[in-house]
Chains A and B, each alone.
Chain A
């Protein structure tokens, strides 16, 4: 894992794919129970028209995360060319 590339979900551009590294903050339990576990693949789909919240795909679920929660999930971006399985 390249630690220099680690960022948080709120900083990912739309369509970006990433792997979850860790969750923190008060929502972390629920985020993990919804599948945002370390190692899970996610994809940012879009932001709401007013920029917050954002819509992500994790597993087969589509979730809306407010920026506050998105900021608490650390991820490692995947290069757009890489296909995730």
Chain B
């Protein structure tokens, strides 16, 4: 087979390799900003494609395939690798060239997958990446010898410092890229069993299709034999082409792991790192978030000066500007989280945290990899859900995404604080009681995460899950440029995909609050679509102890939970007070004095507790829904998430309110 361009004229080149082989760094270096990230149809597996140029300046379509250990797939990610390479993926053409990326410091294991791919008959290039790490460890693969053995071009590389990129581009420019002629001996019966190609060799693609992996009768030992044969052949290759200077030398990573995974020191270090990360997302991010908010407030003020009061001004200020600001305001948290994730992934520390937390997460069927996303969800679910893409197993990733918004995020905090303050006068209730209530609310969210993760793990048999064997990659110095690149890319993806939905929802909510128009500004809320909706849902929320005014707050909260505070301020006519602290004080007072239509107090202690419990579990965040839609590539999961969380919130608040009344509380 030659490497002639496919029908569209532009060559399709695929990058394949084990997880942690540096594939993505090479992809980023070759494509730069000319890449798009989407999902493969029907799964949450990320699809990365871009345009690269060979040394002659000809464009290539470069596909970064999911990392895998074997073509005998065990997870949806690995099935995608197989399907693309075999030309079975609907809208991805079979690659004209495949680049097999091999970690030079662990060539034996990486050549396992590479040799499987090389035997598929696709013109190929082997990239020996991380040559510097291999050299430091006294491992010297001989590129020339490997090239002789496999009959394909071999390029040595240090992708983090961009060494070897030009050589790879030169290799890609060659019109004479060949498919490897190397073939691992197969067990004899397969030679009779597998279909034969026109050139007389057996068609090895059938080893990776179907349940039996090419076995004539599907026996389990078959695959063991194929694996043993392949490793035997690779050892033979490595004995000729890889020189190991001192085999007894201690893995340098082990020196770091002695501290990083130490029974006592390890968790302490992890705690310090994660506390710093959490602090920066939770508190430090508020500084730039404040700037963004002031910037938009300033812009809004400017518009107000130039435009006469009316619908247009209101649309621009309260609809569009508020919407754009609501999108941009997430960026600091997203950037900080992805800075940490990028740094921890690049250095190899993230899998160590997963290793230490695995036991706890495995209790509910997840793995340690879900820990960092779920922790960061306590700051904000939006970056957390985007961070779930560090979880390789599709099922674990989906469950993590589904339960992440149960964590009490920073947007719930102002609501909790307002309700606690309104419920308990500062003069008579000690601060400790208030802190305990706050802790109870956070614990409720954590409990919800574990219960629902456990439940979904039982429910979701639909996708296969690979065994939970995790690799602990070698420690590396991070490439700051690639960390920065990832931050920028995630930020941009958020603005582009989720941002448009958030903006649209904000404008819809603005319209719902402002139309139809009412001459009396005091009646505007009540008579608007939102007000009518609040009234319409009153029968549904009355058993929870909420009247229609709270209903308006609940509906407004869907834009973002903290909007509850300002929506209540307007409903209870405390909205004119500019200063936030003053507004909160006034609102507290209004809540205490508020009466229902029948004259009874609108807020009793039980109403407050019921409302707080509702906020712990309810899915009231359009931004999260938008991000889940984007990450799962369907409306099915965000809608399911909305339904299960809101139902749980309703039931929990119902039990609190009705149960409380039964026991004589009011």
A-side interface residues toward B, CB under 8 Å? 23, 26-35, 37-38, 45-53, 55, 57, 59-66, 69, 83, 85
Contact = CB atoms under 8 A, between A and B. Distances in A.
Contacts of A66: 358, 362, 468-469
B74 A49 contact: no
A37 B355 contact: no
B109 A30 contact: no
A59 B262 CA distance: 22
A62 B472 contact: yes
Nearest to B468: A66
B72 A37 contact: no
Contacts of B70: 30, 33
Nearest to A40: B231
Contacts of A55: 257, 261, 355, 472
Contacts of A85: 247-248
B108 A35 contact: yes
Contacts of A37: 227-228, 231
Closest CB pairs A-B (n = 9): A27-B467, A50-B359, A60-B106, A64-B470, A62-B472, A33-B70, A32-B227, A49-B263, A52-B359
Contacts of A53: 355, 358-359, 470
A69 B355 contact: no
A63 B248 CA distance: 19
B228 A63 contact: no
Interface of B: 69-70, 72, 74, 105-106, 108-109, 112, 137, 139, 223-224, 227-228, 231, 247-248, 251, 253-254, 257, 261-264, 266-267, 351, 355-356, 358-360, 362, 466-474
A9 to B, nearest CB: 12
Given A33-B69, A45-B257, A64-B470, A52 B358 contact: yes
A52 B362 CA distance: 10
Contact of B224 (A26, A28, A35, A45): A28
Contacts, number: 114
17 contacts: A29-B74, A32-B228, A33-B70, A35-B108, A37-B231, A46-B257, A46-B261, A48-B359, A49-B267, A50-B359, A51-B359, A57-B251, A59-B106, A60-B106, A60-B251, A66-B469, A69-B467
B223 A29 contact: yes
Contacts of A38: 228
Contact of B358 (A28, A30, A48): A48
A26 B264 CA distance: 33
Contacts of B266: 49
A20 B643 CA distance: 49
A48 B248 CA distance: 24
Nearest to B74: A30
Given A48-B261, A59-B109, A62-B473, 16 more contacts: A29-B224, A29-B227, A33-B70, A34-B469, A38-B228, A49-B356, A53-B355, A53-B470, A55-B355, A57-B254, A60-B109, A62-B472, A63-B470, A64-B358, A65-B469, A66-B469
Contact of B108 (A30, A52, A59, A64): A59
B467 A30 contact: yes
Contacts of B223: 29
Nearest to B472: A62
A50 B368 CA distance: 12
